[in-house]
């Protein structure tokens, strides 16, 4: 079930695709994990990554870490997501006029 999304969260999702340099691996994993919780996805229902799926394991581990850190509601996760994107805009640069980059659905 999808959780209601705040306007600030929706804007942050778009803004995250307008960074002027590529974010680091850890920052991308943090965003992924916060996004999953933000939209109300249940980690228990997510398929387990395959034995050789290192990227999938890293994503699921990041997601679990967010939950373990106590960010368990979509509202909390959305607030943290917005704050993370603001931090990344300062760290990696941001161009409001940049055409958002297409990203995968997972």
Cα gap 49→91, rounded to integer Å: 31
pLDDT tens-digit readout, 12-63: 999 999 999 999 999 999 999 999 999 999 999 999 999 999 999 999 999 9
**pTM higher than 0.85 for the full model?**
yes
Question: Which pLDDT band holds residue 100 (cuts at 50, 70, 90)?
Answer: confident
- CA dist 1 → 21, 39, 106 (Å): 33, 8, 16
CATH topology classification for 7-92: Acyl-CoA Binding Protein (1.20.80)
Q: Contact at 8 Å (CB) between 83 and 10?
A: no
Sequence ranges of the domains in the chain: 7-92
In the chain, DSSP finds a helix count (H) and a strand count (E) of: 4, 0
Percent of the chain with pLDDT over 70: 93
> Which pLDDT does position 2 carry in this prediction?
75
Give the CA distances from residue 67 to residues 40, 48, 50, 64, in Å, rounded to whole numbers and listed in that order.
Answer: 12, 17, 21, 5
The model's confidence at residue 106, banded by pLDDT at 50, 70 and 90, is very low
More confident site: 98 or 64: 64
């Amino acid at each position: 079930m999808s959780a209601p999304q705040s306007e600030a969260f929706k804007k942050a999702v778009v803004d995250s695709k307008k960074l002027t340099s590529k974010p680091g691996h850890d920052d991308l994993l943090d965003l992924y994990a916060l996004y999953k919780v933000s939209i109300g996805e249940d980690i228990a229902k997510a398929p387990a990554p395959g034995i050789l799926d290192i990227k999938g394991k890293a994503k699921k581990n990041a997601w679990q870490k967010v939950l373990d850190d106590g960010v368990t509601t979509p509202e909390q996760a959305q607030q943290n997501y917005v704050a993370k994107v603001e931090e990344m805009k300062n760290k990696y640069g941001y161009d409001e006029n940049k055409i958002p980059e297409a990203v995968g659905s997972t």
